[in-house]
Structure 1
Amino acid sequence: MPAAKRPRRTPAPKKKPCPDCKRAGQVSESFQIGSRTKRDSADRQEALCLTCFGTGHAPE
C-alpha cells in the first residue's frame, strides 16, 4: 500500500524592510550635551528603531 502524500508547504511571504532602518533594526541619532544649554554634539549614537522595534521588518 503506497504512503499517503503530504500536502506541500507554501513558503512564508517575504516581509518588506523597514523604511527607517533598512532592515538593520537600529538608527543613529545625534544627542545633546549640557545641563542647561543643551548643545548638539557632532557625534552620533545607535538607538533602537521605533518604527519596527528592532525587527527590521515594516509594520503591517
Structure 2
Amino acid sequence: MATKRATTKPAKAPVPAQPAKCEPCGGTGNVAVTVRVGRKRRPVGQQDGLCLACLGSGTASES
C-alpha cells in the first residue's frame, strides 16, 4: 500500500489589521500652523503643531 502525501499547505498566521491613519495629519501627529505677526496679522510662515483630532498618536479615533 502506498503512503498518502499531504498536499495542503499549513495555515499562515493572520496579518494583524493596521489602525486607520488620522485624516488631518496623515498619521504623523503634526499639522502645520500658520504663524502671523504684526499689527495687521500678516502670515510669515508655518510651524508644527499637535494634531487635535488624534492628539499626536497618528491613529484615527473611533468616534
What TM bracket, shorter-length normalisation? Answer: 0.5 to 0.7
For residues 20 and 28 of structure 1, what CA distance do their matches in structure 2 show? 10
Q: Does 1:20 align with 2:24?
A: yes
Larger Rg: 2
Structure 2 unmatched ranges of 5 or more: 1-13
- Identical columns (%): 33
Higher relative contact order (CA 8 A, sep 6+): 1
Does the residue aligned with 2:34 lie in a helix, a strand or coil? strand
Question: When the two structures are aligned, how many residues end up with a matched partner?
Answer: 49
Q: Does 1:57 align with 2:28?
A: no
Structure 1 unmatched ranges of 5 or more: 1-9
**TM-score (ref. length: structure 1):** 0.68
**TM-score (ref. length: structure 2):** 0.65
Q: CA RMSD in A?
A: 1.8
